[in-house]
Amino acid sequence: MNEDRLFSPFQLKNCQLRNRIGVAPMTRKSSQHDSIPRRDVLDFLVRRAENGAAIVYTEAIVTDYESAQGYPGQSRMVTQRQIEAWRPVVRTIQDAGAVAIMQMFHCGRIAWPEVNPAKRIIAPSPIAPKQNNASTGSPYPVPDEMSPFDVKHVIQGFVETAKGAIAAGFDGVEIHGAHGYLISEFLSLYSNQRTDAYGGPIENRYRFAHEIIQAVSEVIPEERLLTFRISDWGGVDREVSLFGTKAEYQTLIRLLGKEPLDAISVSTYDYRRNAFGTEQNMAQITREATNLPLMICGKIYDRASAEDALTDADIVLSAKSILLNPNWVEDVREGKPLPIRKSEEANIAYTTTPLP
Ligand SMILES: Cc1cc2nc3c(=O)[nH]c(=O)nc-3n(C[C@H](O)[C@H](O)[C@H](O)COP(=O)(O)O)c2cc1C
C-alpha cells in the first residue's frame, strides 16, 4: 500500500507538487472563432486547482492554423489575444497551489475535414484509419504523406505554440505523443510506412518526435517543465496495439529517456491491465525502462485505485472522475466510495453545460 504517498509532496524538477494527483488533459471543444476556450471551461480548470489537484493540464492545444486541428472548437496559443486570455487563468491556478501545464498536439490523420483550415490532412503515410469518424459517421480521408517541408513546418508549429505557453506563464508544456495523433502516427508501424529517414525501425520512426522535443526544449526556459505523453492505443482503431511488443515499446521509452524531458505520462484505458501479452501493466513496463518521473492514467477512480496505481508511478492523473466531480481530490483523501465513470458520462464535456 502507498497510503501516505498519494498525499505526499513530489519534486518535479523545480516544482514542488503538494500531492500526487493531477487533472489529465481534456479537450472540451468549446472555443468559437478566437481559438480560446469558453469562460466556464477555463473556470473549471481553476476550480480543480482550488480543490486540491497538484497539476492541471490544459486540453490539447492545436499547434498551427493549417492542418493541426482535428475536432471542432479546439484552441490555440499563438496570438497575443490567446496568450492574454490564458495568462490570468494560469496565474490563478498557480496561486491556488497547482502547477499548470499546457498540452499541445497535431491531430494528423484523425481529422474532421470540416474544421481543417488548410483543406489538407497530413500524416506520415497516406493511410486512413479503418474505423469511421464516430462523431460524423464518415470515413476519415486518406491523408497526404508529409513532405520534408511539412515535417519542418509542423515542428515549427509546436515551437511557436510552446513559446505562447511560456508567454502565458505556464509552468511547462506537454508534447502529446499518444492516442494515434500525428506524433503517435509516426511512432507506430500501424500508420507509418515511410521508406525515408522517418520510417522503418523504431529508431527512425522516433526521429520526428525527437526533432520536436529538441526544437521545443530550446524555447523552454531551464526552470520550466517539458513532459511527453505516450500510449499503446489510439482513439480510433482502438483495439490495435501501436507498438506490438514490450521490446519495441521499451526501446521507445529508452529513447525518450535520453531527451531533455522532466516526466513521461502514460495513458491507458485501465492502469491495471497487463500489456503486450506480459504479466505486467504499462506503468511497470515503462518503469523498467526509465528513471524519469512517471504519470499514469486510466480508470483511477477512488483512493484504493489511486494508491495502487502509484506502486509503479509517481503521479496519478484523472480525466473522467475529476471532470464529473469537482470535489474528487477531497473525496479521495477521505476514502469515500466513488463510482467508476463511463465514457458516455464524460460526453457532458462537449456540451455547453457549465461543469461544477
Ligand atoms: C472529455 C475528455 C477529453 C479528453 N481529451 C484529451 C486530450 O485533449 N488530450 C489527451 O492526452 N487525452 C485526452 N483525454 C484522455 C484522458 O486524458 C485520459 O487519458 C483517459 O480519459 C483515461 O483516464 P480516465 O480513466 O481517468 O478517464 C480525454 C478524455 C476525456 C474524458
> How many angstroms separate the alpha carbon of residue 87 from the centre of ligand 1?
23
Give the model confidence (pLDDT) of 32-51 as tens digits.
889 999 999 999 999 999 99
Of 111, 234, 149, 255, whose CA–CA distance to 184 is shortest?
234
Nearest CA, atom 3, ligand 1: 26
Which DSSP string corresponds to 128-194? Answer: --SSBPTTT-SBPPPPEEPPHHHHHHHHHHHHHHHHHHHHTT-SEEEEE--BTSHHHHHH-TTT---
Whole-number pLDDT of residue 118: 87
Q: Which atom of ligand 1 is nearest to the CA of 301?
A: 26
Distance CA 184, CA 171 (A): 24
Give the model confidence (pLDDT) of 270-306 as tens digits.
999 999 999 999 999 999 999 999 999 999 999 999 9
pLDDT grade, residue 3 (50/70/90)? low
C-alpha cell at 78: 499563438
Give me the mean pLDDT over the 147-151 stretch.
97
Whole-number pLDDT of residue 2: 53
Give me the mean pLDDT over the 125-134 stretch.
96
37 Cβ closer than 6 Å to some ligand 1 atom: no
Q: Which atom of ligand 1 is nearest to the CA of 300?
A: 26
- Whether the pLDDT of residue 67 is over 90: the answer is yes
Distance CA 80, CA 65 (A): 15
Q: What backbone torsions phi and psi does residue 225 show, to the nearest 5 degrees?
A: -100, 150
Give me the mean pLDDT over the 116-120 stretch.
88
Of 135, 166, 140, whose CA–CA distance to 61 is shortest?
166
Residue 230 CA from chain centroid, whole number: 8
- Whether the pLDDT of residue 1 is over 90: the answer is no
Nearest CA, atom 22, ligand 1: 298
172 Cβ closer than 6 Å to some ligand 1 atom: no
Nearest CA, atom 30, ligand 1: 26
- Whether the pLDDT of residue 88 is over 70: the answer is yes
Give me the mean pLDDT over the 193-222 stretch.
98
101 Cβ closer than 6 Å to some ligand 1 atom: no
325 Cβ closer than 6 Å to some ligand 1 atom: no
> How many angstroms separate the alpha carbon of residue 95 from the centre of ligand 1?
25
110 Cβ closer than 6 Å to some ligand 1 atom: no
Whole-number pLDDT of residue 44: 98
Residue among 320, 329, 343, 344 whose CB has most ligand 1 atoms within 8 A, to mutate: 320
Whole-number pLDDT of residue 39: 97
Which positions are catalytic?
181
Give the model confidence (pLDDT) of 212-262 as tens digits.
999 999 999 999 999 999 999 999 999 999 999 999 999 999 999 999 999
pLDDT grade, residue 4 (50/70/90)? confident
89 membership: H or E segment, kind and range: helix 80-95
